[in-house]
């Protein structure tokens, strides 16, 4: 790898030191997009055996890096050019930090002296300052001999404690700096124990167990932190040995199979207000859980607590009490906290009272029967339910496949209809409900795991990253994209209130053929107007592992505004 000079003294440089530092720490994939000043870096990285997956827009390789971090517990690497490329990657970095996905955004940057004097350099921007508030940590390397420390610090910041995004600023000049090869090698750091376990205090464990013991109507809530932790067997043992019903949040689906008899997902609106003690595992009490209070939790007004007592497992002490009082905070890594609880529970833990379990089972049976009835219908045109009945069967038959999901109705219906059977198989819009993660997540999941990927995409959602179908074809990835095409955002039926020639802001070209898009790059395009065609297309895609896009025509009247979060839309006080 090292360049050899005429005098046979081995020298190395910034390019190679960054590559060597990443490799030394087991990072063997980069998601990036070339250009000044990192084009040669992408070439050299590839030459040195790193897999460089090249994208069409930086937001997509940023999302790819973030979800690689979620899936592997190692920071995913996103590589961009300066200013505009950096900014394009920044949304993914901020989203990763919000969702606690470990990633490192590495951006090339322009000449410091010129940037700092604002003299108008090519792609001039003070990137470090801009990145700082949007990530866990941000570092700049001015000298090649500091690369080892910088990469080590970036890795630690990304994966230790609560994981998140890290920014690493590499000015153009630094790449070309040389140093003695042996000294360069010595300057690199192989990070020892990058995400140290954080053992909860015995006192905190006791407090949690004592509270749990008092529960008449206990409930466990699993968040995506629980999925990230890869403590699947112990989480399952805790749930099964206590007999406590549980609710999986979206990306926690599959830690236990959704068909598990203790899943209370089909009785959500009954168990949240009904529970008296709630154990949160890697789940925050943010908007997705109605802040732990209000009517959802049985409170009288929208800010009133429902009277539940909470035990919360989280690695970040400041998470506690962020919305309601946490009676038993259990601070530590999820694996350590769950095994401590498990040890404390022993063998004779009493099952929850039968009336609580019975009442849940009754609601669940009723709701599942209602759902089965709806799914069995076969309306024309196809609606979300009849299409998702197919997806549900396909995932059941292929439980190792990874499901990527975004949209509004296309998201909400998929989450509630499609059962997951294994952990970390459902990847979606996360805490922000962000559109645009689709193709980045799909490419990354296929590259990182080698499994088949099924991306269920609203037609609007797909548009944010749709050009990456070329990337999917270029790397010949086993990705089946299904566009739920209802002619627009939420539905395709809005009309322009002013009556002019422009269509309504939520409406797209009618009867668009998204399948033609992938055909342009040699992928398989299919057009499905009924469940049978959709099933045939998806089965064929899974069997062949060929890049596939199915344009699934969905009744344009079927969706609701914002899916399940209609109420978050502000209402105008002024009547027409």
Ligand X SMILES: Cc1ncc(C[n+]2csc(CCOP(=O)(O)OP(=O)(O)O)c2C)c(N)n1
Structure tokens at 356: 């609580």
Could you give the CA distance from residue 51 to residue 28 in angstroms, rounded to a whole number? Answer: 6
Choose which of 251, 484, 518, 528 interacts with ligand X (CB under 6 A).
Answer: 484
Choose which of 109, 250, 452, 460 interacts with ligand X (CB under 6 A).
Answer: 460
- 556 near Mg ion (CB under 5 A): no
- Residues 6 or more apart whose CB falls under 8 angstroms from that of 55 comprise 31, 32, 33, 61, 64, 440, 443, 468, 471
Q: CB-wise, 423 or 436, nearer to ligand X?
A: 436
Cβ atoms of 220 and 279 closer than 8 Å: yes
Binding window for Mg ion (CB under 5 A); candidates: 76-84, 221-229, 329-337, 457-465: 457-465
Q: How many residues bind Mg ion (CB under 5 A)?
A: 3
Q: How far is the CB of 435 from ligand X (least distance, A)?
A: 4
Binding window for ligand X (CB under 6 A); candidates: 233-241, 281-289, 363-371, 486-494: 486-494
- 160 near ligand X (CB under 6 A): no
Q: How far is the CB of 531 from Mg ion (least distance, A)?
A: 18
Structure-token match 């080698």, residue found = 450
* Phi, psi for 513 (deg, rounded to 5): -115, 85
- 463 near Mg ion (CB under 5 A): no
Structure tokens at 216: 């008449």
> What is the secondary structure of 130-195 as a DSSP string?
HHGGGSSEEEE--SGGGHHHHHHHHHHHHHSSS--EEEEEEEHHHHH-EEEHHHHHHH----SSSS
Choose which of 188, 205, 328, 435 interacts with ligand X (CB under 6 A).
Answer: 435
Residue 540 exposure: Cα atoms within 13 Å on the Cβ side: 16
Q: How far is the CB of 138 from ligand X (least distance, A)?
A: 23
Could you give the CA distance from residue 349 to residue 243 in angstroms, rounded to a whole number? Answer: 9
Could you give the CA distance from residue 103 to residue 77 in angstroms, rounded to a whole number? Answer: 6
- 486 near Mg ion (CB under 5 A): yes
- 461 near ligand X (CB under 6 A): yes
> What is the secondary structure of 361-409 as a DSSP string?
HHHHHHHHHHHHHHHH---SS--HHHHHHHHHHHHHH-TTSEEEEESSH
Q: How far is the CB of 377 from ligand X (least distance, A)?
A: 19
* Phi, psi for 545 (deg, rounded to 5): 60, 25
563 binds, among Mg ion, ligand X, none (CB under 5 to 8 A by kind): ligand X
- 458 near ligand X (CB under 6 A): yes
389 binds, among ligand X, Mg ion, none (CB under 5 to 8 A by kind): none
Could you give the CA distance from residue 537 to residue 478 in angstroms, rounded to a whole number? Answer: 14
Choose which of 20, 169, 314, 459 interacts with ligand X (CB under 6 A).
Answer: 459
Q: How far is the CB of 464 from Mg ion (least distance, A)?
A: 12
Could you give the CA distance from residue 288 to residue 413 in angstroms, rounded to a whole number? Answer: 16
Binding mask 402-431 for ligand X (x = CB under 6 A): -----xxxx---------------------
Q: CB-wise, 12 or 409, nearer to Mg ion?
A: 409
DSSP state of 113: H
Structure tokens at 172: 């153009």
> Chain centroid to CA 413: how far?
18
Choose which of 121, 258, 314, 459 interacts with Mg ion (CB under 5 A).
Answer: 459
Binding window for Mg ion (CB under 5 A); candidates: 76-84, 251-259, 303-311, 480-488: 480-488
Could you give the CA distance from residue 141 to residue 95 in angstroms, rounded to a whole number? Answer: 24
Q: CB-wise, 279 or 552, nearer to Mg ion?
A: 552
- 458 near Mg ion (CB under 5 A): yes
408 binds, among ligand X, Mg ion, none (CB under 5 to 8 A by kind): ligand X
- 563 near Mg ion (CB under 5 A): no
- 405 near Mg ion (CB under 5 A): no
- 490 near ligand X (CB under 6 A): yes
Binding window for ligand X (CB under 6 A); candidates: 156-164, 174-182, 456-464, 533-541: 456-464
Cβ atoms of 147 and 21 closer than 8 Å: yes
Residue-wise burial string across 20-37, b where 16 or more C-beta atoms lie within 10 A, e elsewhere: bbbbbbebebbbbbbbeb
Q: How many CB atoms lie within 10 A of CB 156?
A: 19
Structure-token match 């046979």, residue found = 8
Binding window for ligand X (CB under 6 A); candidates: 22-30, 234-242, 258-266, 484-492: 484-492
- 93 near ligand X (CB under 6 A): no
* Phi, psi for 363 (deg, rounded to 5): -60, -45
Structure tokens at 331: 């601070």
Cβ atoms of 477 and 447 closer than 8 Å: yes
Q: CB-wise, 12 or 486, nearer to Mg ion?
A: 486
- 559 near ligand X (CB under 6 A): yes
Q: How many residues bind ligand X (CB under 6 A)?
A: 18
- 436 near ligand X (CB under 6 A): yes
Q: How far is the CB of 457 from Mg ion (least distance, A)?
A: 9
Q: CB-wise, 336 or 383, nearer to ligand X?
A: 383
- 310 near ligand X (CB under 6 A): no
Q: How far is the CB of 538 from Mg ion (least distance, A)?
A: 19
Query: What is the contact surface with Mg ion in residues (CB under 5 A)?
Result: 458-459, 486
Residues that bind ligand X (CB under 6 A): 407-410, 433-436, 458-461, 484, 486, 489-490, 559, 563
């Amino acid at each position: 790898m090292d360049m050899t000079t005429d005098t046979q003294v081995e020298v190395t440089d910034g390019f190679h030191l960054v590559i060597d530092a990443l490799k030394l720490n087991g990072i063997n994939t980069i998601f990036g997009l070339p250009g000044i000043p990192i084009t040669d870096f992408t070439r050299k990285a590839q030459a040195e055996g790193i897999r460089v997956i090249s994208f069409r827009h930086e937001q997509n390789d940023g999302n790819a890096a973030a979800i690689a971090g979620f899936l592997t517990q190692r920071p995913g690497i996103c590589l961009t050019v300066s200013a505009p490329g950096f900014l394009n990657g920044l949304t993914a970095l901020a989203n990763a930090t919000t969702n606690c996905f470990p990633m490192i955004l590495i951006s090339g940057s322009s000449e410091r002296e010129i940037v700092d004097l604002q003299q108008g350099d090519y792609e001039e921007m003070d990137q470090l300052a801009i990145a700082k508030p949007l990530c866990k940590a941000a570092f700049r390397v001015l000298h090649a001999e500091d690369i080892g420390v910088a990469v080590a610090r970036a890795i630690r910041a990304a994966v230790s404690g609560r994981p998140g995004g890290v920014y690493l600023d590499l000015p153009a000049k630094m790449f070309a700096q040389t140093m003695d090869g042996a000294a360069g090698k010595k300057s690199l750091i192989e990070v020892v124990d990058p995400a140290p376990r954080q053992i909860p205090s015995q006192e905190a464990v006791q407090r949690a167990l004592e509270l749990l013991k008092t529960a008449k109507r206990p409930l466990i809530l699993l968040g995506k932190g629980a999925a990230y932790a890869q403590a699947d067997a112990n989480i399952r043992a805790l749930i099964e040995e206590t007999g406590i019903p549980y609710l999986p949040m979206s990306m926690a689906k599959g830690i236990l199979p959704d068909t598990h008899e203790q899943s209370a997902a089909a009785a959500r609106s009954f168990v949240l207000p009904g529970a008296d003690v709630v154990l949160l595992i890697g789940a925050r009490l943010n908007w997705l859980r109605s802040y732990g209070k209000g009517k959802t939790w049985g409170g009288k007004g929208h800010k009133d607590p429902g009277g539940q007592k909470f035990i919360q497992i989280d690695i970040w002490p400041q998470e506690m009490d962020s919305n309601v009082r946490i009676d038993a905070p259990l601070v530590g890594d999820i694996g350590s906290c769950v095994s401590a609880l498990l040890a404390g529970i022993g063998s004779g833990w009493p099952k929850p009272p039968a009336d609580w379990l019975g009442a849940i089972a009754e609601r669940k049976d009723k709701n599942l029967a209602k759902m089965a009835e709806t799914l069995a219908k076969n309306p024309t045109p196809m609606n979300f339910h009849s299409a998702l009945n197919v997806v549900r069967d396909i995932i059941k038959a292929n439980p190792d496949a990874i499901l990527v999901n975004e949209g509004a109705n296309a998201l909400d219906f998929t989450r509630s209809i499609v059962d997951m059977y294994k952990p970390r198989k459902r990847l979606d819009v996360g805490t922000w409900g962000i559109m645009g993660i689709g193709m980045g997540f799909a490419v990354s999941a296929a590259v990182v795991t080698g499994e088949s990927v099924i991306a269920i995409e609203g037609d609007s959602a797909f548009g944010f990253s749709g050009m990456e179908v070329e990337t999917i074809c270029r790397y010949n990835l086993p990705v089946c994209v299904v566009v739920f095409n209802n002619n627009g955002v939420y539905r395709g039926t809005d009309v322009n209130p002013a009556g002019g020639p422009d269509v309504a802001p939520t409406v797209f070209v009618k009867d668009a053929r998204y399948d033609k898009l992938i055909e342009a790059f040699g992928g398989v395009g299919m057009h499905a107007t009924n469940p049978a065609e959709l099933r045939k297309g998806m089965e064929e895609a899974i069997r062949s592992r060929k890049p596939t896009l199915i344009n699934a025509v969905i009744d344009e009247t079927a969706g609701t505004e914002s899916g399940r979060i209609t109420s978050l839309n502000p209402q105008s006080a002024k009547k027409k």
